[in-house]
Amino acid sequence: MAGDASDSPGGPPPPADTSAAAESPGPAPRPRGRRRPWSVTLPGCWGALLFACLSFTPSLLPRGGILQGLICGINAALGYAAGVLVARVGRAFADRESRPPRRRSWTGFLISAVILFGLFFGFGQYWQYEIRRLMGVTDYNVPLAVASPLVAALVFGLLLLTARGVRGLYRRLVRLLRHWIGPRAASAVGWTAVAALVWAIVTGVLLDGLVGLANQSFSLRDTTTEEGTHRPTTTLRSGGPGSLVPWDSLGLQGRNFTGTGPSVSAIGEFTGRPAKEPIRSYAGLASSDDAESRAAQAVADLTRQGGFQRKNLLVMTTTGSGWVDPAAVDSFEYLTGSDSATIATQYSYLPSWLSYLVDQSKAREAGRALFDAVYDSWSKLPPDRRPRLFVAGESLGSFGGETAFSGEYDLRNRTAGTLFAGPPAFNTLFREFSDHRDAGSPEVQPVYKDGRTVRFANDPAAKIPPADRPWNGSRVLYLMHPSDPIVWWSPHLVYSEPDWIGQHPGDDVLEQMVWLPLVTFWQVTADLPFAADVPRGHGHTYTTEYVDAWNAVLRPPDVTARDLGRLKDIIAAEK
């Protein structure tokens, strides 16, 4: 534990009380003198210094001073615990007791700490400047950057005190238990009880409390309507006249989806031909009780709107809050000349990162229920009267969208095309395609089965590899940025170097980024909440890329490079 007293400064420990130990061979802990709350060990300090310095190595996204201080403090606490553990193991092999370090050892450490921390802090600022330059980020707060070591010290101190509080609780519990059971059993029961208590507090109190508070907050927000969103006046939108889904039941994101979008005149101006009103069907959490009934309700409204008579039908799996990226749907509607219908449902109030922790099963259930309901109606139509059926989803929406399919052949046989953007690393099919990629292809842009059905693009405006191989039939495209932490985060980062770091990095990732046990995991974890707070084309921000991605999947006739450029300007302006 980070608060171990080994090698701590101070006088020798008092003589051990051998009355109980003499009667039992168990490894009863030796009583120690009372220590100051802020006393530290020299091995722990060396570990904290090393890990704190490594926290300044580059990650995927630029970091502000507060975030850098948080990462540095967490890393320092982990390093302190590692240093204490290494010292304890070393003493066990050497079969010796701990002894206080000499004064010159502390002097050497302090001098080394000032030099090493200063060097890494300086290199860290340079690396952050390079990352911002790659992404075109201009914001940089110098005072916060300077304050990051103070934030790190505060975080480190809080974590150290917490660890020592847990250790103190364990020791008190062991002393109490030894009145009734032997020292070995007391130690085992004490650790088990304390570990269970900590787990219950973290998961049952902190996490459940956070989820409950977030659910309450976001459920209230779900009843609001954003400025600029208006109830549809057309019968071709859910919530509009004649809709089977009431406007008030759509939720915040559902109202955004059906109450906005490109107008008929805007689409007609882009295509140069008369346009139709695009169809949008949606069912919110308040529309029905469960995922299956919501899907059935959305399909019923889609049928009423005439969605199955359109040439193109898009099944869009939402993110946790029910959000549908307008760039994805707008691009689809423009490139299909508005001869399209889009259907989606909501399964949670929470944002994607929190939905993954507590609503992962809901995303899976919603994605499968919606596609199955659409496919059931679609498959009953005469083959020559069926619309082209497409599937799409971003982030957790791609996770839900995948769950309706068993693999490559299923995607190819049951859809006309698929577009998944920013797929999380835990997506089943994404992992299957990436892990079984063709030899020689990098993880940041893998090639699967010669790209016959499934392909991956960092920048779909460029040639999508393998450009020299045919891509016939249904096209499945994964859109992912090399700097997107949602795509690359995994618990395996704790102990295993991924290929995307060991291989040549993407265009917006620094070559100086290296894998470090524990350190890289916390750095990429800290990137997650800010994944979309970067300019488009980087991180988890997908906007104009949808234009080229849908162009590759839809293969619309008579669309020129100039048309795609104009559409990108339209999508960028709307965003």
The per-residue DSSP string of 555-571 comes to: --TT--HHHHHHHHHHH
Residue, of 214 and 110, whose pLDDT is higher: 110
Q: What percent of the chain has pLDDT over 90?
A: 66
* pLDDT at residue 6 is higher than 50: no
Give the per-residue pLDDT at 92. 81
Residue, of 535 and 212, whose pLDDT is higher: 535
* pLDDT at residue 177 is higher than 50: yes
Q: Which residue, 502, 442, 452, 506, is CA-closest to 477?
A: 452
Give the per-residue pLDDT at 224. 85
Least confident stretch, 138-147, 212-221, 273-282: 212-221
CA dihedral sign, ordered 559, 561, 563, 564: positive
pLDDT in tens, 326-366: 999 999 999 999 999 999 999 988 776 666 666 678 889 99
220-227, Cβ contacts within 8 angstroms, sequence gap of 24 or more:
221/252, 221/349, 222/251, 222/252, 222/253, 222/284, 222/285, 222/286, 222/321, 222/322, 222/349, 223/251, 223/252, 224/252, 225/252, 225/255, 225/259, 226/252, 226/255, 226/256
132-135, Cβ contacts within 8 angstroms, sequence gap of 24 or more:
132/62, 134/507, 134/508, 134/509, 134/510, 134/538, 135/61, 135/62, 135/483, 135/508, 135/534, 135/535, 135/538, 135/539
Give the per-residue pLDDT at 499. 93
CA dihedral sign, ordered 55, 60, 63, 67: negative
* pLDDT at residue 561 is higher than 80: yes
* pLDDT at residue 174 is higher than 80: yes
Give the per-residue pLDDT at 98. 76
Distance CA 442, CA 505 (A): 9
pLDDT in tens, 439-462: 999 999 999 999 999 999 999 998
- Helix runs in 336-384, H state only: 352-358, 360-379
Q: How confident is the model at residue 238 (pLDDT cuts 50, 70, 90)?
A: very high
Q: Which residue, 172, 181, 373, is CA-closest to 283?
A: 373
Instruction: Yes or no: say if 282 and 247 are a contact pair by the CB < 8 Å rule.
Output: no
Distance CA 366, CA 371 (A): 9
Give the per-residue pLDDT at 320. 80
* pLDDT at residue 464 is higher than 90: yes
As a 3-state breakdown, the chain gives helix, strand, coil percent values, each rounded to 5, of 55, 5, 40
Distances 410 to 207, 394, 474, 475 between C-alpha atoms, Å: 37, 20, 11, 12
Residue, of 416 and 5, whose pLDDT is higher: 416
Give the per-residue pLDDT at 37. 58
Give the per-residue pLDDT at 36. 61
* pLDDT at residue 105 is higher than 60: yes
Helix (H/G/I), strand (E/B), else coil: 317 = strand
Least confident stretch, 210-219, 226-235, 298-307, 341-350: 210-219
Helix (H/G/I), strand (E/B), else coil: 389 = strand
Least confident stretch, 190-194, 285-289, 298-302, 488-492: 190-194
Q: Tell me the one-letter amino acid at 451.
A: G
Q: Where are the domains of the chain?
A: 40-179+495-529, 224-481+542-573
Give the per-residue pLDDT at 361. 81
Give the per-residue pLDDT at 124. 94
Residue, of 562 and 354, whose pLDDT is higher: 562
Token reading at 247 = 């406007």
Residue, of 37 and 511, whose pLDDT is higher: 511
Can you name the residues that pair with 282 across neighbouring β-strands? 344
* pLDDT at residue 172 is higher than 80: yes
Least confident stretch, 53-62, 346-355, 407-416, 539-548: 346-355
Please state the rounded mean pLDDT for residues 252-278. 94
Please state the rounded mean pLDDT for residues 191-198. 86
Distance CA 413, CA 500 (A): 31
* pLDDT at residue 167 is higher than 90: no
Give the per-residue pLDDT at 17. 42
Give the per-residue pLDDT at 18. 38
Q: Which residue, 171, 149, 164, 169, is CA-closest to 28?
A: 171
Give the per-residue pLDDT at 358. 66
